[in-house]
Amino acid sequence: MGKKQRDCLACGAPVGYRDRQRCCRCWRRMQGQAAKAKCPSCGKDRVLQEDTGRCILCSRVCEQCGHPVRAAQNRPCRNCRRKTDQLATQQPCPRCGKPGYLRETTGWCGPCSHPGSPKKPPRVCRECGRLRRHAGLGLCSPGWQKHPQRPFIRGEHLRERLADPPAWLGDFVAHVAARHCVARACSIVTDLGRLLEDEHSNSPQALLERSRRPGRSMGSFARALEDFFTLRGLALPTDQAERLAAGRRKRLIDAVPDPLRTAVAAFDTSRMRAQDRARRAGTRPRSDHTLETALAILRDLALFLVEHRGKNDWALADVHDVEAFLATLPRARKRRLTALRQFFRFARTKHIVLIDPTRTLTAKEPNGFRGRTLALDQQRDLFRRWTTDEDVHPHEALVGMLALLHGASSSEARMLQVTDIDPKAQTVRLGKRPHPVLLDPASWTVLQRCLAHREAWPTANPQVMVTKGTKAGLRPASTAYLSHVLDDCGYPPRTIRSTRLVDLVNTMDPKLVAAAFGMDPQATLIYLADHVDPGRVAALPKTAGTTPTRA
């Protein structure tokens, strides 16, 4: 080193070079730091390798698993070397063919050399009497699966596991055991145990909310909990019907083209607010079906305007567009025009349109009955089918006979309960009729057949018509089921009921028919359209200028 020129700026040591500001140690330290960079694996400042882009320690990784290897001479890591050595000493077993350590005594692997304990010898099952292996309580596996005490045994085991079991646990087990098969009841008790053992609240309302499945169906477990809790007043019913209705409305709104969707969504929001106000005020709110029908009509009109009229704004719709849309389905003109008037009235108040295109349109229709009726021979064929054919489903026979002979609607047959039947007088109460309906022998026989079909189900549902989906609950059959129950006979329920009403109104006093059926007197007059009573015409004196009297 030459003569001292100056002091080092970093450490104060003497610097012997004229062109440097730091000593040799600090100079070498700066050169080494400049060659380092942050390693992407460990995050430390190291000299990165050109082939891997990481430091030398992180560059040495196992070839099999990728874990770091400290020693430079080792390619695989310690665990991989150990596994390789173990696999090298294993040989395929002559019995099972799997690699393993062969025993000298048997020449097989460990599991084959030491098999499990032998199965218990089969015994005679006390339920079916066959020689089979037992699963529990002296029963074979099929007998144990069908044993009615299985849900109660599982409920007792659940009670023993819980630190604070609820007081209603035993009643719930008995509730599901009486309404479901053994396997489903055990599954429900297991699901209940899963909810009771978690960290959330175990109140009935909280359990009911957590048991619901996401989607259109909340599941059989949630329905069982809802029926049990609401029947005993432990929790409020769920809003499953409201959720399903909201999903249907959303799908209808999403089907509207984008430029016209905002107004339809605002119209639906206003109608929902009106429905809520009417429900709180105690008046008659619009049903979900009415709201969905109006949205379906608006969806069809929006598609018609975009696809056939080339208009992407409600303000461009005029009376000619609405008239052309109504002409596509002439029979639905009145119903469609009513929904369109409500929408355009709302749109005009919200300044979506300037002029209501439905203001000058009318939907005048004759008030007389224009539906289909059955001829006498068709009625006889249906009567024979429902009273003599044993292959006909009891629900079809009951709905058909009540509509054919007693003019019962689908809703009256759907809501008929066991408590509405009087076996001594052989009468039933249908809907809102003021007096019990006396059944003829044929109708009473069909009703008894339907009750016998109901007794085959293990159900506590009070309805007469119990289906596979309602046997475990308390709800009546769905309207969709009733709308298709008469598909096999070829005639809808409305046609059969209209045939009976037309016959009664034209042979009796319409006011008496209205009083017997619990209908409005004006509702029966539509079935009296232009009927001429031939008996009254023959009884009139044949004088000049006399006109026939209309009944």
At 322-362, the pLDDT tens digits run: 999 999 998 889 899 999 999 999 999 999 999 999 998 88
Question: What is the pLDDT confidence band of residue 549, given thresholds at 50, 70 and 90?
Answer: very low
Band (209; pLDDT cuts 50, 70, 90): very high
Residue 316: what pLDDT? 93
Report the pLDDT value the prediction gives residue 550, as an integer from 0 to 100: 40
Q: Which residues contact 463 (CB under 8 A, 6 or more apart)?
A: 414, 415, 416, 417, 418, 470, 475, 476, 477
Host H or E run for residue 182: helix 182-196
Question: In this predicted structure, what is the pLDDT of residue 537?
Answer: 54
CATH class belonging to 376-499:
mainly alpha
The confidence score (pLDDT) of residue 531 equals 55
Q: Choose the weakest-confidence range: 18-22, 189-193, 245-249, 531-535.
A: 531-535
pLDDT band at 538 (very low <50, low <70, confident <90, very high): low
Res 546: pLDDT: 44
510, pLDDT greater than 90: no
Query: Alpha carbon 16 to chain centroid distance?
Result: 89
Q: Give the model confidence (pLDDT) of 267-316 as tens digits.
A: 999 999 999 999 999 888 999 999 999 999 999 999 999 999 999 999 99
Q: Where do the structural domains in the chain lie, given as residue ranges?
A: 131-238, 241-349, 376-499
Confidence check: pLDDT of 16 > 80: no
What is the per-residue pLDDT for 366? 67
Least trusted range by pLDDT, from 1-10, 227-236, 472-481 = 1-10
Nearest to 472, CA basis, from 171, 204, 177: 177
- pLDDT tens per residue across span 86-125: 888 888 888 888 888 888 888 888 888 887 777 777 888 8
The span from the CA of 483 to the CA of 480, in Å, is 5
Computed on alpha carbons and rounded to an integer, the radius of gyration of the chain in Å comes to: 41
**Mean pLDDT rounded to a whole number for the chain:** 86
46 forms beta bridges with 37
**Using 50, 70 and 90 to split pLDDT, how confident is the model at 370?**
confident
